[in-house]
Chains A and B, each alone.
Chain A
Amino acid sequence: MTRMDFTALFYSQVHNRETLLSGLDSLLGTEVHPVTIVPYASEQPPAECFEAGGRNRSLRPLGVYDDVTLFELAFHPTKMERETEVVKGKFFVCEHPSFQNVFLAITVESADFVRRALLPFIEQNRSQIYLTFIRHDDLHSLLQNLRDGHGFSDLRVVRASLISRRGETIIPSLSWPRLGLEGAFEYAQEQNGWFKSLTFEALRASKVFAATSVYRNGVVRTDGEFDAVYGSLVLPMCQAINENVALFAGRGRRENPHLAVRPLAIDFGRDQFEDTEENVKLISAMRELENASVSVMHGNPYVSLSVVDYFDGSTFDLWVLNPREVIIVPQLKSSIAGIRRLISCIFDNYAEGAIRDFHTLRQ
C-alpha cells in the first residue's frame, strides 16, 4: 500500500497563519518528523532578509500567501564533507500576529535538514536576523508553566547540554539524565551550570505525549502537543524577542540627537565583581565573542573594553564600574543583532543577569 505523503500535501496547501498553525497540530499525529520552530526578529520581510544562497546553499521562494511565505532551501555539501548528498527541504516563515518584526521560521523536515541546512543558513544571515536568548531561570519558569498549564505530570529531561563553570573554566557537557524537571534544574545548580538545550518528554501519568527540545536561542522542536508547546514556549519566546528589540533598538549614537549615548546594564543582582579575579574571567569570556575585536583599555581594578562586532561593524564600550553590573555603551553604530550577540556571549561564557536601560536603572 502506498503511504500518503502528508508533508507534501501540507506544503502544497495554501496557508495563512491560522491554518498553518492548526495544520501543524494535526500533521504531528501523522508524520514522523517533528516540527521545528525558529522564532527570530528582523527589520526586513522574509524574502529580503534571507539572502538567496551562499557558498553552498540555495534558496528559492515557492509562494507568498497572506502572511506566510514558503521557501525551499538546498544545501550542497562540499566534496570534503562526509555526507555528500544534497539536503533539500522546505520551510514556512510567518509573521507574529502582534509583534512587528518578529517572525517564525517553521519546518516539518528532518532533523538532518534542520541541522545541516536551515540553522546554518539562518546563522549565515545573522547580520539581518536575530534570535533570542533565554536565561536559565526563565527557561525553568517557562517549562514549569508548560507542565502546570497543560496537565503534564512531569517533563522528563532525557538529554541536556549543560555549560558549567569551574573557576575560570567553562565546561560544556552533554548528558542523558532522565530526571524530572525540578531534578534536572537542581542538577544544573549543583554543577554551577546552565542549560544550553534540553530535550524532555512531556508525561501524563507515565505516558509520553511529546518529545520536545528547547534551545537557549529560542529554537523549539516537538513531535506532539503542538498547541501546548506553541502557547507555553514559542509565544513567550516571541515576547522575549520583542522586548529585546524594544530595549536594544535606537542605541547607536548616530541614531540619537547630539550623538548622545544610551547605555545598557546587565545587573547580576549580587556583588558579582567583589573579587577582582572576576574581571579576568569576564575579559576571558569576552574573548570568546565570535568574529569580533576585543581590546582591553583597562583590566584591573576596573574594566574598560572596546568591542567591535565584525558581522555588521557595531562598536561598543564595555565597563565594570561597580560590583553588580556590566555596563554596555553602544558607540556610533550599534545594531540590535550586535547587542544581542554581545549579551549572549556574556550570558553563555560568563554569567547571566537582568538587562536594563542604564539610565532608567538609576532614576
Chain B
Amino acid sequence: MLPELSNQLTEWERGILDRVDDYRDTIFAILGFCSLWFFDASTRERRSYIGVFQGRHLSPVCKKSSSLNTQPQKDVCPDLGVVIRAQTGIVGEVKKNFPSDDRRARKIFDQLNSYDQELTGWPTDNGELQSHELALLVHQTTSWAARRFYSRGVGDGSIKFERPFSIFVFNRSDQRVPYFFFQAVEGEICAIEADLDPYQGVPVPMQALMDLHSRSKLYDGEPPLPYLLDLIWEHVVIPLASENTRFARLRSNQKLEVDVFVDDIVEKLHEGFSFSHWHTQYPDRQPLIPRKEWVLKACRFLVQSKEARWVTEDAELRVFYRKYQDVLGHFVRLQAESEAEKDLQPMFPMFEEGTSGSSN
C-alpha cells in the first residue's frame, strides 16, 4: 500500500475512533446527568419517585385555536428526561461538540425551543406534568460557544425561553478515579433535589455508571457504523455462530455462514443495549432503538464489504462469520478503507478494490 494511503487510513481510523468515543461519552453524559436526580448519594439507593427516560416522544399540547387550519405540531424527542414525583420534569439535549457556526447552533436552540411548550406523553399515569424545564448539556471544551451564542441571543432577543432554562457543562476528569463532572453555568435550574448543588458542580464517578453503561450502549442518536457493527457482530452474530459445532475450532481463515433477520438484530440490540430498562413502566412513546434504518445501513455495509450477502433484500442476511482478533478494530478499518476508496479514487487511480488488506 502506498505510504500516503496508509497514513491517510490511519488518520481516518483515528477519526472514526474519536466518533466512537464521543458517542460513548454522550451516553455517559445522559446517564450521569440523570443519576444526579435518581441516585441518592446518602443512602446509595435509587430514588423511587424519580423517573428517567431517553428518546421519548412527547407531544405538544395543541391549544384551542381560532384558526381551523392549525396543523398538529410534531412530537419532540429530547435526549433525556427526568420526572420528579410525577409533578415536574426536566428535558435536555446533549451536544458533546457544540458547533461554533451560528447556523448549526441556531438549530440546537430551535430544538430546545420546541421543548418550551406544554407537552404531554410524560411517563406518568395520565401522561402529564404540572411543569417542566429545559437543560442543554455541552462538553466543557465547546461550552464557550454555547454560552456565547446563548448570551448573544438573549441580548438581541432571538432566544427567549418561557420555562427555566440552564446550560450545564460536563467533562470527564481523568483523576485516579475517573468521573464525569456536571456544572450549571448559565440560566437557572429549579428542580433541585436534596443536597444537589449543580452550580457548585457535581462529580459522578464512572464506576457508579458502569452497570448502566454496560446495559445502555445505544441511545436515540445514530451510532458510528463500526460501533454498531461491533455490537451486531459480538451480540447477535457470534451467539448464532456459537451454536455451530465448528465454532470453537474455527480457524482464522475459515468462515461459518450465519443467517439472521434484520428485525431480530433490532430486537436483540434493543433488548440488550438500549435504554429500554428505563422504560419498563411506560414503554409507549419510546422508539425502538437501534432504529431499523441504522441496522439496515450496517447490514448493507456488510454486504458491500463482502462480509455478508442478502438472502432476502433488506430482510434476511447471510453473514460470513469469521474470527477477528479485534472486532471493533476490524470494522473501523473496513470503514476507513471504504471512505478512502470513495475519497481517494480520483487522486490515486490505481486504488482498486482488493488492494488494501483489512486488519486481522
Contact = CB atoms under 8 A, between A and B. Distances in A.
B238 interface: yes
Interface in A321-349: 321-323, 327, 329, 331-333
Given A261-B211, A298-B21, A332-B272, A313 B326 contact: no
B271 A259 contact: yes
B230 to A, nearest CB: 7
A127 B326 contact: no
Among B20, B214, B241: residue with most chain A CB under 10 A: B214
B211 A263 contact: yes
Contacts of A291: 248, 323
Interface in B88-112: none
B214 A310 contact: no
Interface string A168-183: 0000000000000000
B206 A302 contact: yes
20 contacts: A253-B272, A258-B277, A291-B248, A293-B324, A295-B329, A296-B326, A298-B24, A301-B178, A302-B174, A308-B238, A308-B327, A313-B238, A315-B235, A319-B210, A321-B177, A321-B205, A321-B207, A329-B214, A331-B214, A332-B239
Nearest to B227: A297
Interface of A: 127, 253, 258-261, 263, 271, 274, 287, 291-298, 301-302, 304, 306, 308, 310-313, 315, 317, 319, 321-323, 327, 329, 331-333
Contacts of B211: 261, 263, 329
Contacts, number: 100
B325 interface: yes
B6 interface: no
Interface residues of B, number: 35
B300 interface: no
Ranked nearest first, the 8 interchain pairs of A and B with the lowest CB-CB distance are: A313-B242, A295-B328, A301-B174, A321-B207, A302-B178, A329-B214, A293-B327, A322-B177
B327 A295 contact: yes
Contact of B215 (A259, A313, A323): A259
Contacts of B205: 321
Interface of B: 20-21, 24, 174, 176-178, 205-207, 210-211, 214-215, 230, 234-235, 238-239, 241-242, 247-248, 250, 271-272, 277, 280, 323-329
Contacts of A263: 210-211, 214
Given A295-B329, A302-B206, A306-B328, A311 B248 contact: yes
Contacts of A253: 215, 272
Nearest to A314: B242
B180 to A, nearest CB: 11
A126 to B, nearest CB: 8
Given A259-B272, A261-B215, A298-B24, A310 B250 contact: yes
A266 B326 CA distance: 23
Contacts of B24: 297-298, 304
A117 B176 CA distance: 49
A127 B249 CA distance: 10
A153 B265 CA distance: 64
B206 A295 contact: no
A310 B238 CA distance: 9
B325 A294 contact: yes
Contact of A306 (B21, B178, B234): B234
Contacts of A304: 24
Contacts of A321: 177-178, 205-207, 210
A317 B174 CA distance: 20
Contacts of B329: 295-296
B176 A315 contact: no
A329 B210 contact: yes
Among A271, A292, A301, A332: residue with most chain B CB under 10 A: A332
A218 B243 CA distance: 30
A323 B242 contact: no
A312 B242 contact: yes
B4 to A, nearest CB: 26
Contacts of B239: 313, 332-333
Contacts of B272: 253, 259, 331-332
Contacts of A310: 247-248, 250, 323
B207 A313 contact: no
Given A306-B230, A306-B328, A332 B235 contact: yes
A20 B157 CA distance: 91
A322 B210 contact: no
Contacts of A274: 176
Given A298-B24, A329-B211, 13 more contacts: A253-B215, A258-B277, A263-B214, A297-B24, A302-B174, A308-B238, A311-B248, A313-B247, A319-B207, A319-B210, A322-B177, A332-B239, A333-B242
Contacts of B241: 313
A164 B176 CA distance: 27
A292 B248 CA distance: 10
A293 B325 contact: yes
B210 A127 contact: no
A287 B234 CA distance: 17
Contacts of A294: 325-326
A131 B238 CA distance: 24
A308 B207 contact: no
B250 A322 contact: no
B20 A297 contact: yes
A327 B211 CA distance: 11
A255 to B, nearest CB: 13
B328 A297 contact: yes
B21 to A, nearest CB: 7
Contacts of B215: 253, 259-261
A308 B177 contact: no
Contacts of A292: 325
A295 B210 contact: no
A306 B238 CA distance: 14
Contact of A315 (B21, B234, B325): B234
A296 B20 CA distance: 11
